[in-house]
Amino acid sequence: MPLSWRSGGLLLGLVFFLAVLLVKPIGVSTQFVILDGIIWDQINPNVITKTETGYTSNNSYLAKSKGKYAKSAANPINYSFVFVLAMLLGAGASAILRGGNAKEERMIPEIWRTNLGNSTAKRMLASFIGGFIVLYGARLAGGCTSGHMMSGMMQTAISGYIFALGAFAAAIPTAIFLYTRRS
């Protein structure tokens, strides 16, 4: 049974509040960089090195913040990385519990089908490209919507509000373009 937007919003707010209160603010996009570092370090063990004072890398991005990212890639079992894995597992469990996505009408909403066609491959390609652009923008901005906007606004950071304005300034016209019914 799906949650109403009010219940879902309140539940999401509670989860973010508890995360900030008990552990640290939520942020996700950095963990994609950490995953890249983990894979890269497996292929080339010289990418991350342990020093007397911690970790460093010959890659400037992994070495930044005094080797914080290099340390996370060398020791990936940490709160943030496990949080991202739990999100993936939770999404999978949710899909299974609600009956999966086996039906074609769940894969392609009617308004998408009316406006942009019936192709599942086209929808998945558009979703992949959109996700890539969002992730690229998140890394360019130094954080994602959960870190900048949601955790940032909860902590009353001006950057969180600016990020939210930019995100909605781009999302609203895009949604209007994609989902306005055309005859």
| 15 shares its domain with 82 | yes
Same domain, 18 and 95: yes
Q: Report whether pLDDT(1) > 70.
A: no
With the CA atoms of 4, 24, 83 and 16 taken in that order, what torsion angle do they form, in degrees rounded to the nearest 10?
A: 0
Q: Are residues 112 and 76 in the same domain?
A: no
**At residue 182, what is the residue type?**
R
* Whether 115 contacts 179, CB under 8 Å: yes
Length of the chain: 183
Do 56 and 135 belong together in one domain?
A: no
On the question of pLDDT at 178 being above 60, the answer is: yes
Which comes out higher in pLDDT, residue 5 or 129? 129
Tens-digit pLDDT profile for residues 56-109: 999 888 888 888 889 989 988 888 888 888 888 988 888 788 776 655 545 667
Q: Which domain holds residue 180?
A: 104-183
At 158-169, the pLDDT tens digits run 988 988 898 899
